[in-house]
Structure 1
Amino acid sequence: MRVATYSDDDLEQHSLGVRRRADTERTAFEHDVDRILYSTQWRALAGKSQVVASGELGIYHTRLTHSMKVAQLGRRIAERMKRRYGGPDPALVEAASMAHDIGHPPFGHAGENALRDTMDELRTGQAVPDSFEGNAQTLRVLTYLAAHKYPGHRGLHLTRACLDAATKYPWERHGRDVDRDRFLKWGVYPADRAAFEWVRAGRTDDAVPVEEQIMDWADDVTYVCHDVEDFYRTGLIPLADIFPAPGQADAHSERETAVFLDYLAAKRTGFGLPFDRDATAAQLAEIGKTLVVPEPYRGRHDDAVAVNSRTADLISFLIADLRLEVADAPIRHGARLVIPEDRRQVCDLLKELLWCYVVDRPTMRTLRHGKQRIVAELLRWTFEAPELLPPDRTEELAEHGDRLRAAADHVASLTEGQAIALHRRLSGVALGSVSDNMLL
């Protein structure tokens, strides 16, 4: 068995320049978990969207409850791998999973796109515009914006291994003409280059450690299982028609399946991708063997029990037969998480259910427009009038001198309730009171 070993460099804390050894109570990675848990940025995730706005009526997952479940599932997968392969460390995977969305702004991807588009517009003329990306913001929060207990030092002082595992896209933004994919997704801002170089410890490739790979799969599984569950409960995703019980398929369920297949066909061909309708229908039928849904959700106790049972079965299916392909020691940089192809296909199809019945529905488009307008206007207003920034962002602006980055850091830190209230105040729609604590 190749055991996952963590060097002194892995355990070193960012910005403090010390190597955090295990104490009598907590390991270095357990310290990472606790520091993330007690940060204000972690608490703020309770007020940020997973799919729908955090204030939406109904018991939907927020970015916080999503991150909690990613952390739980990531830790369980890591525990299995450790029993089989000697690593990785479950607490390290848990910490990275907790941190992976901590940089997300209000209103989820709608807010992220609004910040990116507005920053691109305001930075017109740069060859590779420094813009906004939720994953890059995560690194910035963990190493610069967040505060721990040590005066004179910025960030949460997490270990190098934790920051490395939480970095999903280990590169800066590329130009659109150079690499379109890396123009759209990246994990570090030029302003945080020094922190990123410290995290990578001399590595110049784009490889991610096995802890990040586990976190990424736990993120996907949690997203499709729990968000599909949310919208089945509220009647938006007709699972009983897509995955009927044996012998219960009828003309209505066939029509609903055809609607979903039509959506997929249009989407895939619109992106220039191949689409095999018969093969996709067969995949849906295969999923139906695990995800049998005899009827719509009606809110009864038995319905809730059945939903929880199906979700548990689906999670078990999606994490079954995972294995590590270990090429070298230590495991963290010498292993690859191998996910069976049929699991990936199931996960991809369930994501498309969310897009078909929730994300791309007309009412979501109008909501998304409003969310993006709030975020874009807040960014523009605080960029044009930096005196509107709160004290911590004002201090940071004096340090780095980038008004647009300071404004983006401020808007990204807001919960959705704060963003709505601040937008009303600054637009003059609802001024509020002099005693309102709007910025702190």
Structure 2
Amino acid sequence: MGGQDYHPRMRPARYSDEDLEQHSLRRRVPDDGQRSGFEHDVDRILYSTQWRALAGKSQVVASAELGAYHTRLTHSMKVAQLGRRMAERLERQYGGPNPALVEAACMAHDIGHPPFGHAGEMALRATMDELHFADGVLDSFEGNAQTLRVLTFLAAHKYPGHRGLHLTRACLDAATKYPWERAPVDQDPARHVKWGVYVADREAFSWVRAGRTDTAVPVEEQVMDWADDVTYACHDVEDFYRTGLIPLAALFPPDGAAGSDTERETCRFLDYVQAKRARAGEDFDRAAALVMMEDIGKRLAVPAPYSGSHEDAVAVNRRTADLISYFTRGIELEVGGPAAIRYGAQLVIPADRRAACDLLKELVWCYVIDRPALATQQHGKRRVVSELLRWSHDAPELLPPDRAEELALHGDRLRAAADHVASLTEDQALALHRRLSGTGLGSVNDNVWL
């Protein structure tokens, strides 16, 4: 293995030379004592064009919506901050995981997401499945698999002749949420819906796993995943309370203020969750959910809808901070031995915290994602994404230079078209759709995809 040795104070503890090797360059990061290999990972993700593009992609609602909603970028920033803070506490207590490595994995975890969030992802998948059907091809589109593809193939760094961001093996491993390829629906329905590796990226994935053939994930991924869940639950609920869509005042009134409105709204919400879980074939303990809501209410109780006053803003921030503390301060590690961290440690999250977090996330689905106003928007989003994919596939001359170069490398028109559409911000997707459909031709000087 080439590269310079690490400055003794910069080598991350409990990580091997294999963990610190860079993808595609096959060497460790040359180090002058200023940054560790994992700190290089953070910086390379931060300076990538794909990271910047997350500012123009949905977290829940469209990135162009009026109001201070989280985008995919601000969500990822908060996941990274929270993941690093949890890792710092765990490192002080257990000797790992490395905080910079967790931060890098958190920054990268959504970098493969397409425009329009879940709606865009489902449109890409459904359209690819339809276009692949005649060929009997199983592979399709998945945001997590696209993340690995961006980091190892689509993104560009500073080394000519090498693709990807040249992140460390440990970083790529920690950013891979579902370490398997797509399975046929009749063999494994869950892995038909969620997977983290495309067939085209098998070689990169094999290198990342360094010979592992199981589906275990390292502890850094576990911290990242919990930071993602907590951020989603806390900050998205905060967003939609501020804009009046989630009725927290009715669901979680101050002590002694509950009345018929609270009972009615709680019943409506729990009916929604119970029906959703039943459709998924999952059990739902309604009595336990009521107890959880009472517990959440101790930290989230609000006396009235959000007014926009400074006092209300302070109160919302305090409640969000209390919730985040509740979800993160009870975590522990089960460590297999004094030298074990990556695959020898397991993040332990109290069961009541995980269940409460899942219930909070359902508030966003009940009051925002499944409301008719968003459903009509999502219909339009899916149409835009699906038509862009079809047009780019049928006329590859429409691809921008980088995707045309990619197509010349592998010859897969559908994958190159999907990579193109997935890379667009929402404003770019809408502008390009207007241009290609003839409803708004724009200008010959427009570079809507660059």
TM-score of Structure 1 vs Structure 2, range by shorter chain: over 0.9
Show the 5 A alignment for 1:318-357: 318-328=327-337, 329-357=339-367
Aligned to 1:273: 282
Aligned to 2:5: none
Aligned to 2:434: 424
Distance (Å, rounded) in 1 between the aligned partners of 2:109 and 2:243: 28
Distance (Å, rounded) in 1 between the aligned partners of 2:270 and 2:296: 15
| Cα displacement (A) at 1:24 | 1.4
SS at match of 1:188: coil
Alignment length, in residue pairs?
Answer: 438
Aligned to 2:272: 263
Residue pair 1:213, 1:337 contacting (<8 A) in 2 also: yes
Residue pair 1:4, 1:332 contacting (<8 A) in 2 also: no
Paired AA for residue 355 in structure 2: Q
Residue pair 1:70, 1:98 contacting (<8 A) in 2 also: yes
Distance (Å, rounded) in 2 between the aligned partners of 1:265 and 1:97: 31
SS at match of 2:342: helix
| Cα displacement (A) at 1:272 | 2.8
1:131 counterpart (120, 129, 140): 140
SS at match of 1:331: coil
Aligned to 1:147: 156
| Cα displacement (A) at 1:21 | 5.4
Aligned to 1:397: 407
Unaligned runs of 5+ in 2: 1-11
Paired AA for residue 115 in structure 2: P
CA deviation string 1:51-101 (max 9, x = no partner): 000000110000000000000000000000000000110000000000000
CA deviation string 1:281-324 (max 9, x = no partner): 22211211121212110000000000000000000000021000
| Cα displacement (A) at 1:275 | 2.5
Residue pair 1:128, 1:174 contacting (<8 A) in 2 also: no
Aligned to 1:99: 108
Distance (Å, rounded) in 2 between the aligned partners of 1:109 and 1:265: 22
Residue pair 1:103, 1:135 contacting (<8 A) in 2 also: yes
**1:111 and 2:133 correspond:** no
Paired AA for residue 407 in structure 1: A
Residue pair 1:92, 1:211 contacting (<8 A) in 2 also: yes
**1:235 and 2:247 correspond:** no
Show the 5 A alignment for 1:3-82: 5-20=14-29, 22-82=31-91
CA deviation string 1:11-37 (max 9, x = no partner): 101001112254311000000000000
Structure 1 window deviating more from structure 2 (172-181 vs 227-236): it is: 172-181
Distance (Å, rounded) in 2 between the aligned partners of 1:40 and 1:124: 33
| Cα displacement (A) at 1:435 | 0.8
Distance (Å, rounded) in 1 between the aligned partners of 2:208 and 2:273: 40
Show the 5 A alignment for 1:145-294: 145-294=154-303
Distance (Å, rounded) in 1 between the aligned partners of 2:291 and 2:68: 33
| Cα displacement (A) at 1:276 | 2.8
Distance (Å, rounded) in 2 between the aligned partners of 1:122 and 1:301: 53
Residue pair 1:128, 1:175 contacting (<8 A) in 2 also: no
Over the matched positions of the two proteins, sequence identity in percent amounts to 74
SS at match of 2:227: helix
CA deviation string 1:383-413 (max 9, x = no partner): 0000000000000100000000000000000
SS at match of 2:416: helix
Paired AA for residue 189 in structure 1: Y
Aligned to 2:417: 407
SS at match of 1:324: strand
Q: Taking structure 1 as reference, are residues 338 and 126 closer, same or farther at Cα in structure 2, changes over 3 Å only?
A: farther
Distance (Å, rounded) in 1 between the aligned partners of 2:73 and 2:242: 20
Distance (Å, rounded) in 1 between the aligned partners of 2:357 and 2:257: 24
**1:374 and 2:384 correspond:** yes
SS at match of 1:59: coil
Q: Taking structure 1 as reference, are residues 177 and 91 closer, same or farther at Cα in structure 2, changes over 3 Å only?
A: same
CA deviation string 1:401-432 (max 9, x = no partner): 00000000000000000000000000000001
| Cα displacement (A) at 1:231 | 0.0
1:296 counterpart (296, 305, 322): 305
Distance (Å, rounded) in 2 between the aligned partners of 1:261 and 1:140: 39
Paired AA for residue 347 in structure 1: C
CA deviation string 1:131-153 (max 9, x = no partner): 00000000000000000001111
CA deviation string 1:113-148 (max 9, x = no partner): 000000000000455511000000000000000000
Residue pair 1:127, 1:175 contacting (<8 A) in 2 also: no
1:87 counterpart (90, 96, 103): 96
Distance (Å, rounded) in 2 between the aligned partners of 1:278 and 1:6: 45
Paired AA for residue 436 in structure 1: D
Paired AA for residue 48 in structure 2: S
Residue pair 1:4, 1:330 contacting (<8 A) in 2 also: no
SS at match of 1:33: helix
Paired AA for residue 349 in structure 1: L
SS at match of 1:349: helix
Q: State the TM-score, normalizing by the size of structure 2.
A: 0.96
Structure 1 window deviating more from structure 2 (318-327 vs 406-415): it is: 318-327
Distance (Å, rounded) in 2 between the aligned partners of 1:269 and 1:8: 48
Distance (Å, rounded) in 1 between the aligned partners of 2:370 and 2:81: 30
Distance (Å, rounded) in 1 between the aligned partners of 2:392 and 2:258: 55
